[in-house]
Amino acid sequence: MSELALDAEKLDAADGLAALRERFVLDPVSEHAPDATGVYLDGNSLGALPAHVPGRVADVIRRQWGELRIRSWEESGWWTAPERIGDRIAPLVGAAPGQIVVGDSTSVNVFKALVAAVRMADPSRDELLVDATTFPTDGYIAESAARLTGRTLRAVTPAEVPGALGERTAAVLLNHVDYRTGRLHDLPALTAGIHARGALAVWDLCHSAGALPVGLDEHGVDLAVGCTYKYLNGGPGSPAYLYVRRELQDRFDSPLPGWNSHAEPFGMSPSYTPAPGALRGRVGTPDILSLLALEAALDVWDGVSVDAVRAKSLALTDFFLRCVSAYTEPGRVECLTPGRHAERGSQIALRCADAGEVMKRLIARGVVGDFRHPDVLRFGFTPLYVGFRDVERAARALGEELA
């Protein structure tokens, strides 16, 4: 056994979160053929299935829907699910209860947040800033929101935001973690700078929620959105969430007013009166099956400290980089993810000339990461179920495929 493999065993033995792995459905580890086991490093795209979720979903389908039917809106708590599940997510992103509503997709929630931010800003502020390195959909939505509200859109990198802010800036849409490189942006400093110039801060937390502390309340973030199928393990297409800071909720004017966000949803009034609080973020009938699958998935977080998750994430990514350095020839790959912990999310992005083919070969042998055009290998490290032996095996397989 190599020195790195021995180190991995020691690190796993000392890992206070190691037992959480048993809560997930993962490829089994074979003691007789350890290199044949699967290593799942794509939780930054789709989290693994928590083992208890199928049973819970079966109950929703067979009993709540099959037997109770319409009664489940009250008796099974369907009606209050968006806020109840929002309160489950709240401590994972540093928010007090009553500020997060779950529902719709990330894209729809970005649209709600950005248009609402413009409506809350001074009318003289006619410019929106958007992260130039953002996931493409955020840029598409921002461009549409700018056209619909008569604002000008300017794309800048997060590093350029302080210099780009001015009296015309209404709101700024930024990603907490860059989806390509795994770079972690300075949410506290950028939010403070945006506020100092009188604008509102809107953050996309898709690649940070469930992987590292966010501190929405602590840092005075105005609006935030995020998906739940990555580090929160809610399942493919699980509903996203919208955070509206409590002090702004009375002013939050959703561009998508639906019957579910009406103050009297069953009054069937022809005129719209918004509900109080975070409920204003609701639109139409909730996606009950996926909502309740997400609620069940969030049980894996019971008793888990986000700070402990962050500490393990950094340890995993540090160890992976150490293993990659040992197992690959110098210059064969280039790390795009910052080395400084303060600038690193929970993924490692490596550049190599034939990245697409390399990832196909890794997946064929059970090491699952993903490829981003044109030349980036992405490996996501979900501390709830990824161990140090996984990391060592993945790096060793990478080295062998690159040799």
The two three-digit tokens of residue 7, written as one number: 């180190």
Q: Are 384 and 297 in contact (CB under 8 A)?
A: no
Q: Which residue has tokens 């319409």?
A: 70
230 is a catalytic site residue? yes
How many other C-beta atoms can be found within 10 angstroms of the C-beta atom of residue 215?
A: 16
Q: What does the buried/exposed string (b/e) look like for 165-192 if buried means 16 or more CB atoms within 10 Å of the residue's CB?
A: beebbbbbbbbbbbbebbbbbbbeebbe
Cα separation, 70 vs 74, whole angstroms: 8
Given the residues 230, 280, 344, 393, the one annotated as active site: 230
Catalytic (active site) residue 266: no
Task: Say which of 378, 389, 393, 396 is annotated catalytic.
Answer: 378
Count CA atoms within 13 Å of residue 249 on its CB side.
19
CA distances to 53, 82, 212 from 295, rounded to whole Å, are 9, 10, 20
Catalytic position from the list 111, 135, 379, 388: 135
8 Å CB contact between 110 and 131 = no
Q: Does 310 qualify as catalytic in the annotation?
A: no
Token digits for 309?
Answer: 């998750």
Catalytic residue, chosen from 42, 104, 204, 370, is 204
Rounded to 5 degrees, what angle do the CA atoms 108, 112, 113 make? 115
DSSP characters over 335-392: E-S-SSGGGB-SEEEEE-TTHHHHHHHHHHTTEE-EEETTTEEEEE--TTT--HHHHH
24, 229, 241, 381: which one is catalytic?
229
Q: Is 167 left (phi over 0), alpha (psi -120 to 50) or beta?
A: alpha
* Active site (catalytic) residues: 135, 204, 229-230, 378
